[in-house]
Amino acid sequence: MPTDHPIKFTLLCASKNEEKDVRVTIETALEQTYPYKEIIFADDSTDRTKDIIREYKDRGVILIDGPGHGCCQARNLAMQKATGDVIVFLTADTKLEPHYLEKILPYYEKGYDYVMVESSSNLDSIYSRFVQVQHLIVANKPGYNPYTTQGYSVRRDAALAVGGISGADYPVNICRDWTLVKKMEAKGYKKMIDRSIIVGHISPDNFNEYWRVQKERGRWSAFQPYFLFYRSPLYLFFKFVAKSTLTFFHFALVVPALWETARLTKYLEHPARDFFPLYYAYFLHRLARCVGEWQGWFYIKRLNRTYKPPALSAVI
């Protein structure tokens, strides 16, 4: 609801081992022209990320030691310590344009409780172009209703009222920030999606980083259903057998994979030039996901004998 004082924003980033990209995020946060803001980093790093953040202490950047239980717990901790009316969630590779806060401000002045925006990747390599195409495929579907976006924002009191990001202390890092907006939606809080507001972010631009990220998302495909929704290892086994089999025949038969690649290229500026590079990136994406899923499954299988899941109310 409208306030009788200027709305203050908290730019909040949970980071871990992001020494390569974090400086860009800090600089674009500091370049925001809107005056009523604070910048908080909740960091669990073992590399130089903390040292880089500390370099900006004199410019008002606040560093909080993360709780050591993943980015979602770090965000919850930082939300509790924040003093802003609105929380803007950043990742350590987010690139905001200088007037970003002014663009989302009118929605909060009108009483909206959370705002979703559009994201755009760097397009320097076929890997980052594939990531952007993947996003556009989803975002252009009818009824697109995201629970998170790059640079999405929420009214702080509403976020705390629904309990923040759900979850418990898991033995692995599970991305579950979508639970916050899902709970806000269920409680009837007012939502705005404005895809004309674009937030940039840095996507993987080399093989090693691309493979690592895609494989990690495959691991999440095992961890989320097991830890959050209590799917059994047996259920996941048959699910991953089916997915791996479909992936094998998808590429072994060639035509289905070529057809899907052709569908993806319509979002590229140079579809003919990028067709076979995109096919390669698509193949790596599917392969890395399969590898990650099975790595996650074997981890769960070893853990299953001793792990006691939290109460369901702690999850969603």
Say how many Å lie between the first and final Cα of the chain, rounded.
26
Distances from the Cα of 248 to the Cαs of 73, 175, 218, 235, in angstroms?
37, 27, 16, 20
Residues 104-148 have pLDDT tens digits of 999 999 999 999 999 998 888 999 999 999 999 999 999 999 999
Average pLDDT over residues 88-105: 94
The mean pLDDT of the chain is 91
Residues 263-305 have pLDDT tens digits of 999 999 999 999 999 999 999 999 999 999 999 999 999 987 7
Query: In the 8-state DSSP scheme, what is residue 256?
Result: H
Residues 184-220 have pLDDT tens digits of 999 999 999 999 999 998 888 899 999 999 999 999 9
For residue 312, the model assigns a pLDDT of: 47
Look at residue 38 and give its three-state secondary structure: strand
| Domains observed in the chain | 9-201 (3.90.550.10), 207-314 (no CATH)
**Rounded CA separation 50/63 (Å):** 8
pLDDT at 2 over 60: no
Axis crossing angle, helix 271-303 with helix 255-265, rounded to the nearest 10: 120
**Rounded CA separation 182/74 (Å):** 19
Place of tokens 């998808």: 250
Look at residue 103 and give its three-state secondary structure: helix
C-beta separation of 223 from 309 below 8 A:
no
Look at residue 222 and give its three-state secondary structure: helix
**Rounded CA separation 99/203 (Å):** 22
Average pLDDT over residues 229-242: 95
Look at residue 177 and give its three-state secondary structure: coil
For residue 72, the model assigns a pLDDT of: 81
Within 10 angstroms of residue 31's Cβ, the number of other Cβ atoms is 12
Structure tokens at 33: 């022209």
E strands along 23-113, which residues?
A: 37-43, 61-65, 86-90, 94-95
Reported as a pLDDT band with limits 50, 70 and 90, residue 315 is very low
For residue 185, the model assigns a pLDDT of: 95
Average pLDDT over residues 87-99: 92
DSSP string, 131-153: HHHHHHHHHTSTT---S--TT-E
pLDDT at 18 over 90: no
For residue 69, the model assigns a pLDDT of: 64
**Rounded CA separation 125/172 (Å):** 30
Higher pLDDT, 36 or 310: 36
For residue 177, the model assigns a pLDDT of: 86
The residues facing 62 across adjacent strands are 40
**Rounded CA separation 13/147 (Å):** 17
Percent share of the chain, pLDDT over 90: 73
For residue 68, the model assigns a pLDDT of: 62
Closest by alpha carbon to 118, among 128, 103, 105?
Answer: 103
Higher pLDDT, 46 or 282: 282
CA-only gyration radius of the chain, Å: 20
Full-prediction pTM beyond 0.85? yes
pLDDT at 175 over 80: no
